[in-house]
Amino acid sequence: MAHAIMRMKDVNKWFGKFHVLRNINLDVASGERIVICGPSGSGKSTLIRCINRLEEHQSGQIVVEGTEITNDLRHVEAIRREVGMVFQHFNLFPHLTVLENLTLGPIWVLKLPRAEAEKRAMQYLERVRIPDQAGKFPGQLSGGQQQRVAIARSLCMDPKIMLFDEPTSALDPEMVKEVLDVMVGLANESGMTMLVVTHEMGFARKVADRVIFMDQGEIIEQNTPDAFFDTPENDRTKLFLSQILH
């Protein structure tokens, strides 16, 4: 592969005796959009959480932007500056305003002056279409608005890779679209590398370069969206698709 922004080689992880990631081999090119799907317990969240060291892999290699993820704290900090994450339950900081949530990382990690950090924050708030909520607290926003703030918060760090861990699973149905629209906009307008764990197959069709199906810790099948949805090859893939596309 020409320029792999992230490479996973023979990655294995155990939770105690439970083998949650089995021999994962994955190369992600810069600017690629990847959707990861699979039944619950298949290890898809664990896989992307290993990329920013929220989980530790026990064997194998993960290399992000040329830096290998090891126990070395400096490597981990360097990687976390380049990799942004959006969580299923938003994880916004409830005691800070929306603006303060966004400027926290730039001020304390990127060491930007406050004025510059706030300018950047307002730009991204406009990008996710809620600039008027800057002075509010997360508890005052709807679920969809909170998730959009969370996306803006990660974008403020100017990451090269964005990880999305089931971003719409905790939202009420009418708010899922507004978040997906933001993510589609992100995919189309910026050259951002995105790894998205989701069940939203419409999003996958629209935006993904590759769809990966995982089951029981292994990558079972990966293909372009059309090939994946229209002509799945593996039986387990077919079973999964029949269950979610009804």
Partner 1 sequence: MTTPISSAPQARRLSWNNPGVRAIFYQVIALCAVGAAVWFLVHNTLYNLSVRNIASGFDFLSREAGFAIGESLIEYGPADNYARALTVGLVNTLRCAVIGIVCATILGTIIGIARLSKNWLIQKLASVYVEVMRNIPLLLQLFFWYAIISETTPGPRQALNPLPGVFLSNRGFKTPWVTGEGLSWLFGGFVCAIVVVILLARWARKRQEATGQIFPLWRVATALLLVLPAAVWLVSGTSLSLDMPVLKGFNFAGGLTLSPEFAALIIGLVVYTSAFIAEVVRSGIQSVSHGQWEAAGALGLKNSLALRLIVLPQALRVMIPPMTSQYLNITKNSSLAVAIGYPDIVSVVNTTLNQTGQAIEGIMIIMAAYLSVSISISIFMNWYNKRIALVER
Partner 2 sequence: MSSVNTTSTAENEGAPSKRLSVWAWLRTHLFSSPLNSLLTILSVWLLLAIVPALIEWSVIRSNFSASTAQECRSTGGACWAFIIEKHRLILFGLYPYDEQWRPLIATGILLGTIILSGFRRFWNFWLVVIWTVALIAVAILMWGGVFGMKFVENNLWGGLPLTLILSTFGIAFAFPIGVVLALGRRSNMPAIKAICVVYIELIRGVPLISLLFMSSVMLPLFLPEGMNIDKLLRAQIAIVMFAAAYIAETVRGGLQAIPKGQFEGADSLGLNYWQQMRLIVLPQALKIVIPPLVGIFIAMFKDTSLVVVIGIFDLTQSGKAALTDQTWRGFSAELYFFIALIYFVFCFSMSKYSQSLEKRLATGYQR
The amino acid present at 27, given as its one-letter code, is D
Q: What are phi and psi of 194, to 5 degrees?
A: -125, 130
**Interface region with partner 1, contact rule CB under 8 A, candidates 10-18, 50-58, 204-212, 230-238:** 50-58
Piece of the chain touching partner 2 by CB under 8 A; list 13-21, 128-136, 158-166, 188-196: 13-21
219 binds partner 2 (CB under 8 A): yes
Work out which of 9, 95, 119, 238 binds partner 1, going by CB under 8 A.
95
**CA 76 centroid distance within chain:** 17
Out of 55, 82, 100, 218, the residue judged to bind partner 2 by CB under 8 A = 218
> Which of 26-34, 40-48, 82-90, 187-195 is the region at the interface with partner 1 (rule: CB under 8 A)?
82-90
Choose among 40, 19, 37, 43: nearest CA to 237.
Answer: 37
Torsion angle in degrees (nearest 10) through CA of 207, 241, 87, 12: -110
C-alpha distances out from residue 121 to 27, 83, 102, 125, 139, Å = 32, 17, 6, 6, 19
Here the tokens at position 43 are: 């290890």
Span 46-75, contacts to partner 2 by CB under 8 A: 58-59
* Beta bridge partners of residue 13, listed in sequence order: 21
Across the strands, what pairs with 84?
A: 162
Distance, CA of 241 to CA of 233 (rounded, Å):
11
Q: Which helix (H) or strand (E) holds 14?
A: strand 4-15
- Nearest distance from residue 53's CB to partner 1, in Å? 8
Q: How many residues bind partner 1 (CB under 8 A)?
A: 35
CB of 228 to partner 1, least distance (A): 29
| 224 is an interface residue for partner 2 by CB under 8 A | yes
**Per-residue string for binding with partner 1, 99-138, x by CB under 8 A?**
-----xx-xxxxxxxxxx-------------------xx-
Residue 35 and residue 228 in contact, taking contact as beta carbons nearer than 8 Å = no
Q: Which does 127 bind (CB under 5 to 8 A by kind): partner 1, partner 2, none?
A: none
> Footprint of partner 1 on residues 157-186 (CB under 8 A)?
157
Q: Which residues contact 222 (CB under 8 A, 6 or more apart)?
A: 210, 211, 212, 213, 228
- Per CB under 8 A, residues contacting partner 1 are 52-54, 77, 80-81, 83-85, 87, 89, 91-95, 104-105, 107-116, 136-137, 139-140, 153-154, 157
- Per CB under 8 A, residues contacting partner 2 are 12, 14, 16-17, 19, 22-23, 58-59, 216-224, 227, 233-234
